[in-house]
Chains A and B, each alone.
Chain A
Amino acid sequence: MYEFIRSFKEMYTPGRKRIPEPEPQIITRSLDHNIGYIKRMFNNASDLTIHEMQLEGTRAAVISIDNLISKDTLAFSVIKPLFSFRFGNDPEKNLDSVCNKVLYTDDITRIRTFDDVSRYILSGFCVIAVEGSSDMLSVGIQGFKSRSISEPESDVIQRGSKEGFVEALHTNMSMLRRRMKTPSLMLDIITAGRLSGTEICICYLADRASSEIVRELKRRLDAADIETVLAAGYLVPYIEDKDSLSPFSTVGITERPDTVCGKLSEGRIAVMIDGVPSALIVPYLFAEYFQTLDDYSNRPYFATFTRWLKFAAFFLSILLPGVFVALCTFDQEMFPSLMLNKIAGAVASTPLSLMGEMIIIQFIYEIMRESGLRMPQPLGYAVSIVGGLVIGDTAINAGLIGAPTLMAAAMAAICSYVIPNLYAPSAILRFGFTIAGGFFGIWGISILFCIVFINICSKTSFGIPFTSPVTPFGFSSLRDVFVRAGWKILSSSPVRIQNMPGTSSPGGANNE
């Protein structure tokens, strides 16, 4: 009965119906049949180009998608050599000869099914079909336009390379190769997305990354049942260990090839996606949110100082508004007399409760941020100016919002930008702590803090505790957490992710 209801529901639920996997169609010896099949497969797409030729009595065709290939390469490296070749009577031998002697490119693959034909054509290859042959040849002549390498917008550093990832996967792979000139750098390509068939590159150092973690990552990516992969975030839930409700992610993301190389050298694995100018990094620990590439360029004492600044900024960003509301509402005696006088004056002159004020300010701020983010840059500036004037000046002068409240909210907002990757959790938690503080004071904040921290402590990233090496405690690994030791110390015994304390089997905590 239950099965019946479920099948009935699936039948009538739009968008959730699974597309049945078709049987792979084998290429036939008839060129006309093959061309007809490809046309039907692509629904006579306008950009599908089929160049039919008579080559000394043998019919052949070169099939490609117009805007994905380089026309010059097609003309000079494929079509011109084909016309100069003397075809014999045996089609299979002809194809072998074309493959080995004729074409001026090494990216040639023999394919036997129409699935492969479509996959290669859509990846910027051209496919050569010859009458009488049950195989075809795919030739790599990709030539689509892509953005040139530029400085990443979000992962900005002071010292170091200005190169960021671009959308073209192979360009990104070359950027890694240039930085890691070692044969142990593995760049395994798989595809994901039932519709998009997106190429995904799994990068790791064979002699440093844990083979178990690599295997587990591939298993999770293979098991990812997703139609399209258009951004890095599409894959994150499939890669993460179980716990979808947590605000913190156990998958890192970066736009910088040098950061990826640094992570690879520690035994981590990067996942690059075709069409996405960033890479995912696993396993990823909580402490890594507070590390930037600049830490390793600066002197250790300054790097340690900035790292503590980041810790402080994170906790201020989530706790400051809540604690301010809690103290003003329940524990006023905490404030020194002069400060209390000022706060009391401000609170007395505003109509809303302190918690209400704080929530409204944060809400307005988030609206302004969101609108500034999506708008064209000149308009974004205008929004910032108007928002700053409205909130910063008019609201206070009108007596709608108290200056100390605004100060606390603004401080928290600024702090949240110190670690951009933690912005999303800190924005949500800020609201949570404000409500907890407003209703239950420090008690409520403490309880919520316990919940957040037990959540953080319960997470694992491929079997490695998210809070490692702080708890579980590993003294030697701490030299790059609360302090940044000098390079001589760091290089003497490099940190390996799989040696972090508390590491267990990566498949033990995986997503089901």
Chain B
Amino acid sequence: MNNKAFISSGQLFILLFVCKISELILFPLKLNDSGYVGILFPSLMILSVISFIAVVFSDYCKRNQFTSDIKAIAPVMSIFFIYSLLFHLYIFSDFIVEITGNSIPALMLLFLLFSAAAYGAVKGIEAIARFSAIVFVSILIASALYFIFLYPSFMPDTVSLKNEGSLTNGLIISVPLCEELAFLFILSGNTKGSILRSGFIWNCMQTIFIAALIILIGGAIGEYLTGIPFPFFHASDGSGDLQRFRPFLVSVTIASVFCTLSVELYLIRGSVPVPAKIRIKNPSLIIFSLLFGIYLIFSGIPSLLNTIYDSRIMAAVSLIFVFILPSLFVLFQMVRRKILRPVKLAGITAFIISASLVLCSCNARQLNQRIIVQGIGIDKNENDYRVTLIALDTDTQESENSVKLIYSDGEDVKAALTAVENRQGRKLMLSQCLFIMLNSSAAADIESAVSFFTGNNEIMKTTNIMTADNTDELLTKAITGLGYTSENINVLSDSNAINQRNVHFSLFDYISSRKSKKKEIIIPHVVEDKETSCLRTDRNTIVSANQL
């Protein structure tokens, strides 16, 4: 069995360097949004490149051959890992903001993740390598789920990386992070107690893994240069099925980021001889933390984070970075030198965490503070929109499925929905919405009627769209008169065509047709048959008194 590392540390460095450049291409920095990120990261990259070239060529000039060993590039490596750390924190904060919206304080999460990674770094490279193996398997499972549930159905439609596809973003971010896991596998070949010590099988696996990585990077660069879409990066999300897997995907992403940050912190801390001997000790981490905290205090510096968060949160997080994080490092040092007992450390840590929670808190939306919407009716009049919501009535406890109607008017759909929220004092929950029913005028101007929902991350893209002559009247009867339920109306729309006119049409179909600009929009038309007191679409599907 071969216990040797698969590639040399110099080759590894070059591979990682290419990965980083690819990441920059994949995630174009928002120069307009963040001066910090926009200036710091490219400069670090340039510095790394220049240093690397300078070291290699100075060596060449001395000896007339390229013999740079790992010690020669050690300074470059240290810069590289600091850069990587900052870059991943930045990407991850961006990712959190996109996925969670404002419901969870992203900076607080970052702080927790950073602290967890610091803990991981303390535990050592072998622990990180072992954990990375578990994460690696989880990523494989996540990828399998991705391909099984998402890829086959929605492949033809492309959605760009950074706007609507929050889930896709998560996956796409996970992919480049795999390079660090590959790196861990390679690294663990040089450490005792590694999975790679069992030899050939794992060498094969990492070969496949690195090959896949190179293909992805190549695809990304090719896409950037030629403009030809690389398929893997262009699947769109919105599948209701996939949304069910979001916790798993989030967990996998967090775990891979955790591994990445841990190993970067560990390498910066510098006690591993492979791939480079970097002797940056813990005080450097404290200084780094202090500098980051000071940066956050000066909220005048243009930053993406500053535009999103309240100054109080920024101040609280600044406190964390200036005082609490350095204190944690100092405490760990004290425990290591046996100045402080672990039990006291546990007490202090518990206090710090609880204080942090109190400082930053969170604005979670409790279930009883939300309006669970089951169906939306949109009536367009001359100048304004009237929105009718069928919502779950959680106030009356007579029946678990009792529903109520909520009306609101506004200049557009968004304004009308905001008015509902303001009047009820609760946030709308659109993820359970089964259908959007438009009246004829709204259907004629579907672009403005539905635009709010296409940009909404919460509503499922499988939500059905229908038309009716008078939506408001129909939904009122659905509640009070004929006994139609939201589920029944949804089933009515969901039934596929028997003749050519009654077709299934969802929000996703609308997004696809808008992008391709070729598909004809055919929306099922719901009418009330007054003779038989039932609902039907184009003479073939009928709902009457809860019966289909």
Q: Name A residues whose Cβ lies closer than 8 Å to a Cβ of B.
A: 244-245, 323, 326-334, 337-338, 340-345, 347-349, 353-354, 438-451, 453-455, 457-458, 460, 465, 467, 470-475, 501-504
CB distance from B125 to the nearest CB of A (A): 10
Assembly CA distance A216 to B367 (angstroms): 56
CB distance from A332 to the nearest CB of B (A): 6
Chain A's closest residue to B247 (CB) is A442
With a CB–CB cut-off of 8 A, which chain A residues contact B394? 344-345, 347-348
Q: How many residues of B contact A (CB 8 A)?
A: 65
Rank and list the top 3 A-B pairs by shortest CB-CB distance, nearest first.
A333-B431, A502-B193, A458-B127
**A451 and B119: CB pair below 8 A?**
yes
With a CB–CB cut-off of 8 A, which chain B residues contact A347? 366-368, 394
**B198 and A244: CB pair below 8 A?**
no
B143 interface residue (CB < 8 Å to A): no
With a CB–CB cut-off of 8 A, which chain A residues contact B346? 245
B116, B127, B487 pick with most chain A CB within 10 angstroms: B127
With a CB–CB cut-off of 8 A, which chain B residues contact A504? 192-193
With a CB–CB cut-off of 8 A, which chain B residues contact A447? 109, 112-113, 116, 254, 258
Interface segment out of the listed B10-18, B96-104, B276-284, B316-324: B96-104
Assembly CA distance A338 to B198 (angstroms): 49
* Chain B 418-432 per-residue mask, 1 if CB under 8 angstroms from chain A, else 0: 000000000001011
**A348 and B251: CB pair below 8 A?**
no
Q: Which of B333-365 contact A (CB under 8 A)?
A: 342, 345-346, 357, 361-362, 364-365
**B366 and A444: CB pair below 8 A?**
no
**A443 and B250: CB pair below 8 A?**
yes
With a CB–CB cut-off of 8 A, which chain A residues contact B374? 337
B112, B193, B194, B198: which contacts A475 (Cβ < 8 A)? B198
**A344 and B250: CB pair below 8 A?**
no
Q: List 23 A-B contacts (CB under 8 A).
A: A329-B366, A330-B104, A331-B246, A331-B247, A332-B370, A333-B432, A333-B460, A340-B432, A341-B372, A344-B392, A344-B394, A345-B397, A348-B367, A443-B100, A445-B251, A446-B250, A453-B134, A454-B116, A454-B119, A457-B134, A458-B123, A471-B195, A472-B130
B544 interface residue (CB < 8 Å to A): no
Assembly CA distance A244 to B342 (angstroms): 8
**A443 and B458: CB pair below 8 A?**
no
A332, A353, A450, A502: which contacts B254 (Cβ < 8 A)? A450
B400 interface residue (CB < 8 Å to A): yes
B109, B366, B434: which contacts A353 (Cβ < 8 A)? B366
**A440 and B109: CB pair below 8 A?**
yes
With a CB–CB cut-off of 8 A, which chain B residues contact A349? 397
With a CB–CB cut-off of 8 A, which chain A residues contact B133? 470-471, 473
Q: Name B residues whose Cβ lies closer than 8 Å to a Cβ of A.
A: 96, 100, 103-104, 108-109, 112-113, 116, 119-120, 123-124, 126-128, 130-131, 133-134, 192-195, 197-198, 201-202, 243-244, 246-247, 250-251, 254-255, 258, 262, 342, 345-346, 357, 361-362, 364-368, 370, 372, 374, 392, 394-395, 397, 400-401, 429, 431-432, 434, 458, 460, 487
B193, B195, B254, B432: which contacts A443 (Cβ < 8 A)? B254
CB distance from B456 to the nearest CB of A (A): 12
> Main secondary structure on chain B at its contact with chain A?
helix
Told that A323-B247, A332-B370, A454-B127 touch, could you supply 17 new A-B pairs with CB distance under 8 A? Answer: A245-B345, A333-B458, A334-B247, A340-B372, A342-B400, A354-B367, A438-B364, A439-B362, A440-B362, A443-B109, A447-B258, A449-B251, A451-B119, A454-B258, A457-B123, A458-B127, A471-B195
**B130 and A333: CB pair below 8 A?**
no
Assembly CA distance A334 to B246 (angstroms): 8
With a CB–CB cut-off of 8 A, which chain B residues contact A331? 246-247
**B262 and A454: CB pair below 8 A?**
yes
With a CB–CB cut-off of 8 A, which chain B residues contact A467? 130
A334, A440, A445 pick with most chain B CB within 10 angstroms: A440
A473-B202 contact in complex given A330-B364, A344-B392, A441-B364, C-beta closer than 8 Å: yes
Assembly CA distance A502 to B133 (angstroms): 14
A348-B395 contact in complex given A458-B123, A473-B202, C-beta closer than 8 Å: yes
**A442 and B367: CB pair below 8 A?**
no
Assembly CA distance A253 to B15 (angstroms): 48
**A450 and B372: CB pair below 8 A?**
no
With a CB–CB cut-off of 8 A, which chain B residues contact A455? 123
CB distance from B183 to the nearest CB of A (A): 16
With a CB–CB cut-off of 8 A, which chain B residues contact A442? 246-247, 250-251
CB distance from A244 to the nearest CB of B (A): 6
CB distance from B546 to the nearest CB of A (A): 15
CB distance from B395 to the nearest CB of A (A): 7
Chain A's closest residue to B252 (CB) is A446
Assembly CA distance A329 to B367 (angstroms): 6
**B365 and A329: CB pair below 8 A?**
yes
CB distance from B134 to the nearest CB of A (A): 6
Chain B's closest residue to A328 (CB) is B367
A472-B367 contact in complex given A245-B346, A348-B394, A453-B131, C-beta closer than 8 Å: no
Chain B's closest residue to A345 (CB) is B400
A330, A332, A334, A457: which contacts B131 (Cβ < 8 A)? A457
Assembly CA distance A450 to B103 (angstroms): 22
**B195 and A444: CB pair below 8 A?**
no
With a CB–CB cut-off of 8 A, which chain B residues contact A453? 131, 134
**B120 and A333: CB pair below 8 A?**
no
**A473 and B198: CB pair below 8 A?**
yes
CB distance from B205 to the nearest CB of A (A): 10
Assembly CA distance A429 to B370 (angstroms): 30
A472-B262 contact in complex given A328-B367, A340-B432, A443-B250, C-beta closer than 8 Å: no
A472-B255 contact in complex given A333-B432, A334-B247, C-beta closer than 8 Å: no
A334, A337, A354, A440: which contacts B104 (Cβ < 8 A)? A440
A472-B195 contact in complex given A330-B104, A331-B246, A345-B397, C-beta closer than 8 Å: yes
Assembly CA distance A252 to B33 (angstroms): 56
**A344 and B367: CB pair below 8 A?**
yes
B195, B345, B431 pick with most chain A CB within 10 angstroms: B195
Chain A's closest residue to B403 (CB) is A341
With a CB–CB cut-off of 8 A, which chain B residues contact A457? 123, 126-128, 130-131, 134
With a CB–CB cut-off of 8 A, which chain A residues contact B364? 329-330, 438-439, 441
**B96 and A451: CB pair below 8 A?**
no
**B124 and A458: CB pair below 8 A?**
yes
CB distance from A339 to the nearest CB of B (A): 10
Assembly CA distance A348 to B255 (angstroms): 34
CB distance from B158 to the nearest CB of A (A): 24
With a CB–CB cut-off of 8 A, which chain A residues contact B246? 331, 334, 442
Assembly CA distance A30 to B364 (angstroms): 84
With a CB–CB cut-off of 8 A, which chain B residues contact A458? 123-124, 126-127, 130
B342, B364, B367 pick with most chain A CB within 10 angstroms: B367
With a CB–CB cut-off of 8 A, which chain A residues contact B120? 450-451, 454
With a CB–CB cut-off of 8 A, which chain B residues contact A344? 367-368, 372, 392, 394
Assembly CA distance A329 to B128 (angstroms): 31
With a CB–CB cut-off of 8 A, which chain A residues contact B458? 333
CB distance from A132 to the nearest CB of B (A): 54
A244, A332, A343, A471: which contacts B429 (Cβ < 8 A)? A332
B113, B123, B366: which contacts A454 (Cβ < 8 A)? B123
CB distance from A251 to the nearest CB of B (A): 18
With a CB–CB cut-off of 8 A, which chain A residues contact B401? 338, 341
**B255 and A446: CB pair below 8 A?**
yes
**B193 and A449: CB pair below 8 A?**
no
Chain B's closest residue to A460 (CB) is B193
Assembly CA distance A349 to B127 (angstroms): 46
Assembly CA distance A467 to B128 (angstroms): 12
A244, A343, A445: which contacts B367 (Cβ < 8 A)? A343
Assembly CA distance A256 to B255 (angstroms): 39
Chain A's closest residue to B136 (CB) is A471
**B104 and A454: CB pair below 8 A?**
no
**B127 and A444: CB pair below 8 A?**
no
CB distance from A73 to the nearest CB of B (A): 49
With a CB–CB cut-off of 8 A, which chain A residues contact B400? 341-342, 345
